[in-house]
Copies of this chain bind each other. A is one copy, B any other.
Amino acid sequence: MIHRLEPLLNPRSIAFVGASSKEGRIGGMPISLITRYGYEGKVFPVNPKYEEVFGLPCYTDIESIPQPVDLAVLAIAASDVLAMLKRCHAVGVKAAIVYAAGFAEEGEAGAALQNEVELFADASGMAVAGPNCMGFANLNTQAHTAFASVFNTSSMQQGAGHVSLLTQSGNVCAAVYGLLRQLDVPVSHFINTGNEACVEFSEYLEYLAEDPDTDVVVGYIEQLRNGPRFLAACETLRQRDKMLIALKAGTTAKGAAAVQSHTSALAGDRRVYQAVFEQANVIEANDFAQMALLAQLARLRHRTAGRRVAVITMSGALGAILADRFIDAGLDLPDLPADVQAVLRKGIPDYGMVGNPVDVTGNVVNNPGFVHEVLAVLANTDALDAVVIYAPGYMLDRMADSIAAVAAEYPRFMAAIDTGKAATRDMLRDAGVAVFDDLGRAVSALGPFLLWQERRRCAALSPAFKTGMNAVAPAQVLVADSSAFPISTTVTETQALNYLSRFGVPVKEMSSAHSLDDARVQAAALGYPVVLKIVSPDIAHKTEVGGVVLNVRTETELEQKYRDMMARIAQLAPEARLEGVLVQKMETSGVELIVGARRDPVFGPMLTVGLGGVLTELYQDVRHSLLPVNADRVQALLRELIAFPLLDGYRNAPPADLAAACDAIVALGDAMVAAPANVNEVEVNPLLVRRKGDGAVALDALIVTGN
């Protein structure tokens, strides 16, 4: 099946409406490029003022073009766009690019105009790119529709490109293109999405995921408008062994404000995007140079790799620095196995290092046979995933033949860092070795690349990951009774706990008392100490009105504290309808977690887990995941918490019931996925995790509803 964006991204014929014969004009630059670089499709300039543009016959209007047109490029004012789109559609044009600004980014009138364009595009099925975009380029066919001076200032590629740019900013697209060309990386698609009125980021990504000319997508994202489609495209990328590198803007409050001002996009929550990127194995980048280096590295993605790196230097200092930087970047430098060390020690003098980092010392470069032996053993041991060699200038040159030979013999990923001016850089690149000229940049590219390689391997193994990514419905689907959740009012704790328990969340045994006598009887039955909590649909935050009393130890205390609580509530919430008092047995030990699930506006149901208590908010020690999840995935999230040791027998404490905690969290996630649409948030705080074998239990729950 041909993707509907094919005429837009790989057109066989292009009309330029508003064509100009001046290279410096918007209507002229793309035609100049397209004629200069030999696009083989048909090109039809349209402008009643000209007979000819850049040697091509120019047409009076779109209707007078005698042949079918795939793509119309509209270099005309915003106010003329809608009418022209209709005329294009009438003569069978399948796609259009709208340069004009003056739409949603410019107030209400612009937004109304954009809305009309959107409605027409939807109804007609035309693939309309922009508005407010810079135009595209398909560098493999030289189909230029972009007015970007970077095509004049950068060298035009010779070979076929497999790196596609997909950005929500024309300036970013041009800046990264320039850097890719500086690295001599050929490009396939140059796409900047503009206002995304009719075609949004994820649809382009979907196209590129299937595009045989794209192996790598370099993305710039301000806002995703369709999370599920984005995730589906990421899954296709994964299946096709392609890489997505993305810079997400608006990760700080100031950046988010700038994003919103830029294209009225909402930047969303940094941590949600980070969690989604990690789960979908998207490499999150921070700057343009790093993006370009990662795109260059991608050609080596079929070599075996992962986080366990051996660092080889001729300098103890450089070994130390690289160890620090690689570990800071999330990689490991495992100690080398004894048999590997033994091979190294045969030729490395005592003052060199055979651990990791390895300091082979300077003289070794004069012994290429030994260099080969060292690299071969490092390329072969199961204890490693990657080998990085730091050798400046002539040092690298002397080792280069050995490095290239080992790269040919073993599939393991190898990289060289040369801060000098080695003559063998290109030879090594041709041999399948990554070569960097700067230490900081090497680390900034290798860190994410090697972790991507590792996650790619794990993703292929872990059903939990795929389950999370594909948003498959949970095994246990209960049809919830949506009438149980009145919109925009508070669901009581009892209702919330009841709902969660239906999905398998273990909840604390409790009873509802409607009088002091009632409470006294129930407390005696449960056994002291107990907890008292007010039940009212009008009180969402019970502690704020003194509606929770912990550690009631005796019947005498119960009487006193029951009365005190009722008096406080009568004073602080006199209007609240009271449905009674919850009596629970007090739990005195265990680890408290906070577990929440909410409907993210972009990605849908998301889980949050963290350590409970007053410090959660300050330390932000929480992890997020797409829902649903399985127990393995939850355990992985919990293990990423800095506070995880508290669950794992910290300071001689007994280990907590991790398995029970995971099951309870999976159940909460299922409850969110199955919840009626008016449920925005489900939270258990705390989920008390008792010692191993004793289970976990939800002590309190909150369900937030809304429109």
A-to-B contact residues, CB < 8 Å: 101, 105-107, 149-150, 153, 167-169, 171-172, 174-175, 178-179, 220, 222, 247, 249-252, 254-259, 261-263, 267, 286-290, 314-321, 323-325, 327-328, 333, 350-351, 353, 355-357, 359, 392-394, 419-421, 438-441, 443-444, 614-615, 618-619, 621, 642-643, 645-646, 650-651
Option from B178, B286, B316, B327 in Cβ contact (under 8 Å) with A169: B316
Chain B, residue nearest A361 (CB) = B101
- Which residues of the other chain, B, contact A319 by a CB distance below 8 angstroms? 258, 262
Decide: A153 and B287 in contact? CB cutoff 8 A. no
Option from B106, B359, B420, B438 in Cβ contact (under 8 Å) with A351: B106
- Which residues of the other chain, B, contact A262 by a CB distance below 8 angstroms? 316-317, 319-320, 353, 359
Option from B254, B438, B646 in Cβ contact (under 8 Å) with A327: B254
Instruction: Name the 3 nearest CB pairs between A and B, nearest first.
Output: A262-B316, A169-B317, A287-B440
Decide: B290 and A252 in contact? CB cutoff 8 A. no
Chain B, residue nearest A613 (CB) = B615
Question: Which one of A172, A320, A325, A350 has the greatest number of beta carbons of chain B within 10 Å?
Answer: A320
Option from B267, B440, B642, B650 in Cβ contact (under 8 Å) with A290: B440
Contacts A149-B394, A169-B315 hold; do A254 and B288 have CB atoms under 8 A apart? no
Contacts A153-B393, A350-B106, A440-B444 hold; do A325 and B286 have CB atoms under 8 A apart? yes
**Distance between Cα atoms of A502 and B334 in the complex (Å):** 50
- A409 CB to closest chain B CB (Å) equals 28
Decide: A357 and B258 in contact? CB cutoff 8 A. yes
Consensus secondary structure, chain A interface:
helix
- Which residues of the other chain, B, contact A153 by a CB distance below 8 angstroms? 393, 420-421
Decide: A250 and B320 in contact? CB cutoff 8 A. yes
Decide: B618 and A615 in contact? CB cutoff 8 A. no
Besides A222-B317, A257-B323, A619-B619, 10 new A-B residue pairs in contact (Cβ under 8 A), listed by A number:
A169-B317, A171-B315, A174-B392, A220-B317, A252-B324, A261-B355, A288-B440, A289-B439, A440-B444, A618-B646
Contacts A316-B258, A440-B289, A443-B287 hold; do A392 and B171 have CB atoms under 8 A apart? yes
Question: Which one of A105, A262, A267 has the greatest number of beta carbons of chain B within 10 Å?
Answer: A262
Option from B101, B249, B254, B333 in Cβ contact (under 8 Å) with A317: B249
| 28 cross-chain CB contacts under 8 A | A107-B350, A150-B420, A153-B393, A167-B317, A168-B317, A169-B318, A171-B317, A171-B392, A172-B315, A172-B317, A222-B317, A249-B317, A249-B320, A249-B321, A252-B328, A255-B320, A258-B323, A258-B355, A258-B357, A261-B316, A261-B355, A262-B316, A286-B325, A287-B438, A287-B443, A614-B651, A615-B643, A619-B643
